[in-house]
A and B are shown apart, each in its own frame.
Chain A
């Protein structure tokens, strides 16, 4: 197959208490969330019948499309046929489904509102985003547990590589409605969204802020990191990543509330994480053949969103990539590579782990030699 240049992130957006923009994610510390303006998320005439997840997704999506230059005051700047939508959310429809069932039991069918019909289906958010911004490309909703956000980015990259779309709006969202809060218990749950626009290098025409170089989903974090690095080809063989974005523990919607990770799980995971203390000299050791192994990866700095945010479930991976893009865009000190490694899942209650690699956009365009 003809090598396809890696896709690039051209815009990001967030709808999150405590973060006005992607760069704020890097500075977040737990409990620092600023007071939320009421009502949150915002509601207007166009969104009065939309569920909470959809309203959050529209906020983040609009910001990302605008930042990418695909949307301005006059509307879309590119044909809607070129743009697809991928939404990652594990709990998005839960409130509608539970509330409708409860109303039916308590008050009978006459109390139901027909406007909730589309919201009772898992794709309500993705289709509403497409309708709002007139996006006719592929329209996917991924509900894939703790890895769902990174998986959504992986599918976006595949859709661009196979020319299913030229541009994709990827949104990770989890709403803290009554049913989600009830299930989450004391650990709480995210009430926000993050979005980014991923475009083929060709479509981005120099607007790229970061390049998605590799993604994989495997049985554990080690295997996922190794497979993502292998998929990234030469770019993934660099022995260090500048930014390490570790998985979040105890995200709800994946059974982790019932089966919290044990201290042993956490210790094992910490042992598997890349080592701190990035050493640029390690690049010289490429010839030793250990460069694919995650143990061979050091990092310069860490962005632990999992500690900074409530359990973010399906939104987590997209939040990680939005933060990583902001970090890469801001520029890195001399000797620190402008690369980021994000991992999600891999906990005892998860079915798998996913890993994703981002690098500075000027690395784009290198033929992928790792693939035939």
Chain B
């Protein structure tokens, strides 16, 4: 199936993160290089080595509220009412509201956890065809792929795709044990990176059939691939395979890509594999696309990160600007031939979004300017 003939219009976007509560706020802050980790408020980190994260504080620990805010913004941008009774809603998340389950368990409450976002979206938007994909950190880009497939198969004219994640104490503490360092900041692709820091976030896009609405940008393809190799470590081969699949499905070559929003978590293993894969796909000569990576400002927003970067890619394509890679001072050897964003003007025809998760569950999207 070729989902690339004209691309799928993105009619609206929404974003909530530690740096802002709307698409415009988030994009403006990131282009200005604003966004830094703060001491964790949601749980006690006194006995951990790591103490910092990128939390949303208004309201804190409420992924469902952030999700609804992002979806509402995307619908408003698309000129649609807050009524999704006939619209499929696909939500990608890694950690759902498991922080709520942790609180219930440690405080001795026996409330059954709400394992998905269907009820909150029904109550708020009347949605009844909601699907919560609780994947790895690529969950929301997987949801974006399935949304495009729904349109391609003629099963829907409009699909709302969302990503949302919050920081669980369990994931935070296990990362604290597993990571080489105890980072106080995130430094994507940097030699001195101590690892990743988690962040809260939500993002949403309204995807429509061509000709039904004005587009802010278009989605050309999403490539999906599973390494099936290691439970946490990514493989450069798998990351490259997902990128090539995305280019093939979009009907473009690697040379057509002008901007990449990389995953760039700051985790040394991940960054090395991603840099190797980027060099393999775009060539090691330094004439490849501009590489942006925002997790130095937003933290790693887990399953939300792919869609948050998709929203940012839309803004980059619309405004011709791109955020700088905050935290990168001295690139790792594998990244030596990559051209990193320092902020400023960029006029790509095609922008690529990378999203890689635990288990080697990889997804890569290709977006383009609206016609």
CA of A151 to CA of B127 in the docked complex: distance in angstroms? 15
State the interface size on chain B (CB cutoff 8 A): 70
CB pair B135 A123 closer than 8 Å:
yes
Instruction: Determine the residue in chain B with the shortest Cβ distance to A116.
Output: B174
Q: How distant is A330 from chain B, measured CB to nearest CB, in Å?
A: 32
Q: Is residue A179 within 8 Å, beta carbon to beta carbon, of the partner chain?
A: yes
CB pair B118 A182 closer than 8 Å:
no
CB pair A138 B129 closer than 8 Å:
no
Question: For residue A349, which residues in chain B have a CB less than 8 angstroms away from its CB?
Answer: 119
24 A-B residue pairs with CB within 8 Å: A100-B173, A101-B169, A101-B170, A104-B47, A104-B170, A122-B94, A122-B95, A127-B226, A130-B359, A135-B226, A141-B134, A141-B139, A142-B134, A143-B132, A143-B134, A155-B146, A158-B150, A162-B149, A162-B152, A254-B115, A255-B119, A351-B122, A352-B129, A352-B130
Contact with B along A238-254 (1 / 0, CB 8 A): 00000000000000111
CA of A124 to CA of B359 in the docked complex: distance in angstroms? 8
Q: Is residue B329 within 8 Å, beta carbon to beta carbon, of the partner chain?
A: no
Q: Is residue B177 within 8 Å, beta carbon to beta carbon, of the partner chain?
A: yes
Contact with A along B261-294 (1 / 0, CB 8 A): 0000000000000000000000000000000000
CA of A134 to CA of B229 in the docked complex: distance in angstroms? 8
Q: Is residue B39 within 8 Å, beta carbon to beta carbon, of the partner chain?
A: no
Q: Is residue B178 within 8 Å, beta carbon to beta carbon, of the partner chain?
A: yes
Stretch at the interface among A7-15, A106-114, A203-211: A106-114
CA of A163 to CA of B146 in the docked complex: distance in angstroms? 12
Q: How distant is B346 from chain A, measured CB to nearest CB, in Å?
A: 31
CA of A102 to CA of B102 in the docked complex: distance in angstroms? 8
- Tell which of A105, A108, A144, A372 touches B132, judged by Cβ atoms closer than 8 Å: A144
CA of A121 to CA of B139 in the docked complex: distance in angstroms? 11
- Tell which of B96, B136, B154, B360 touches A143, judged by Cβ atoms closer than 8 Å: B96
Q: Is residue A137 within 8 Å, beta carbon to beta carbon, of the partner chain?
A: yes
User: Contacts A123-B135, A123-B139, A351-B119: A93 and B114 contacting too (C-beta < 8 A)?
Assistant: no
Q: How distant is A121 from chain B, measured CB to nearest CB, in Å?
A: 5
CB pair A123 B357 closer than 8 Å:
yes
Contact with B along A127-169 (1 / 0, CB 8 A): 1101101111111111111001001000100110111100000
CB pair B231 A112 closer than 8 Å:
no
User: Contacts A183-B113, A257-B112: A139 and B135 contacting too (C-beta < 8 A)?
Assistant: yes
CB pair A94 B226 closer than 8 Å:
no
CA of A58 to CA of B146 in the docked complex: distance in angstroms? 25
CB pair A162 B153 closer than 8 Å:
yes
CB pair A102 B226 closer than 8 Å:
no
9 further contact pairs, Cβ within 8 A, besides A102-B106, A182-B105: A127-B228, A128-B231, A139-B224, A142-B131, A162-B1, A257-B112, A258-B112, A351-B122, A372-B154
Q: How distant is B209 from chain A, measured CB to nearest CB, in Å?
A: 12
User: Contacts A162-B153, A351-B130: A140 and B142 contacting too (C-beta < 8 A)?
Assistant: yes
User: Contacts A109-B47, A158-B155, A253-B115: A98 and B101 contacting too (C-beta < 8 A)?
Assistant: yes
Question: For residue A254, which residues in chain B have a CB less than 8 angstroms away from its CB?
Answer: 112, 114-115
CB pair B178 A117 closer than 8 Å:
yes
Instruction: Determine the residue in chain B with the shortest Cβ distance to A147.
Output: B118
Q: How distant is A134 from chain B, measured CB to nearest CB, in Å?
A: 5
Q: How distant is A367 from chain B, measured CB to nearest CB, in Å?
A: 14
Q: Is residue B26 within 8 Å, beta carbon to beta carbon, of the partner chain?
A: no
Instruction: Determine the residue in chain B with the shortest Cβ distance to A217.
Output: B129
Instruction: Determine the residue in chain B with the shortest Cβ distance to A314.
Output: B115
Q: Is residue B176 within 8 Å, beta carbon to beta carbon, of the partner chain?
A: yes
- In residues 106-147 of chain B, which contact A (Cβ within 8 Å)? 106, 110-116, 118-119, 121-122, 127-137, 139, 142, 145-146
Q: Is residue A80 within 8 Å, beta carbon to beta carbon, of the partner chain?
A: yes
Question: For residue B154, which residues in chain A have a CB less than 8 angstroms away from its CB?
Answer: 1, 371-372
State the interface size on chain A (CB cutoff 8 A): 77
CB pair A127 B174 closer than 8 Å:
no
CA of A350 to CA of B48 in the docked complex: distance in angstroms? 39
CB pair B360 A123 closer than 8 Å:
no
Question: For residue A114, which residues in chain B have a CB less than 8 angstroms away from its CB?
Answer: 174, 177-178
Q: Is residue B352 within 8 Å, beta carbon to beta carbon, of the partner chain?
A: no
User: Contacts A131-B231, A162-B149, A258-B111: A117 and B174 contacting too (C-beta < 8 A)?
Assistant: yes
- Tell which of B112, B170, B226 touches A97, judged by Cβ atoms closer than 8 Å: B170
CB pair B359 A126 closer than 8 Å:
yes
Residues in chain B within 8 A of chain A (CB atoms): 1, 47-49, 85, 93-96, 98, 101-102, 105-106, 110-116, 118-119, 121-122, 127-137, 139, 142, 145-146, 149-150, 152-155, 168-171, 173-178, 224-232, 357-361
CB pair A100 B135 closer than 8 Å:
no
CA of A142 to CA of B132 in the docked complex: distance in angstroms? 6
CB pair B112 A134 closer than 8 Å:
no
Q: How distant is A95 from chain B, measured CB to nearest CB, in Å?
A: 10
CA of A134 to CA of B226 in the docked complex: distance in angstroms? 9
- In residues 173-226 of chain A, which contact B (Cβ within 8 Å)? 179, 182-185, 217-219
User: Contacts A131-B229, A140-B142, A158-B149: A98 and B174 contacting too (C-beta < 8 A)?
Assistant: no
Question: For residue B113, which residues in chain A have a CB less than 8 angstroms away from its CB?
Answer: 91, 94, 183, 253
CB pair A102 B112 closer than 8 Å:
no
CB pair B226 A137 closer than 8 Å:
yes
Question: For residue B228, which residues in chain A have a CB less than 8 angstroms away from its CB?
Answer: 80, 127, 130-131, 133-136, 139
Question: For residue A124, which residues in chain B have a CB less than 8 angstroms away from its CB?
Answer: 231, 358-359
CB pair A109 B176 closer than 8 Å:
yes
- Tell which of A120, A135, A141 touches B133, judged by Cβ atoms closer than 8 Å: A141
Q: Is residue A320 within 8 Å, beta carbon to beta carbon, of the partner chain?
A: no
Question: For residue A96, which residues in chain B have a CB less than 8 angstroms away from its CB?
Answer: 170
Q: How distant is A43 from chain B, measured CB to nearest CB, in Å?
A: 17
Q: How distant is B251 from chain A, measured CB to nearest CB, in Å?
A: 15
Q: How distant is B118 from chain A, measured CB to nearest CB, in Å?
A: 4
CA of A371 to CA of B96 in the docked complex: distance in angstroms? 35
CB pair B174 A112 closer than 8 Å:
yes
CA of A185 to CA of B231 in the docked complex: distance in angstroms? 33
Contact with B along A44-74 (1 / 0, CB 8 A): 0000000000000000000000000000000
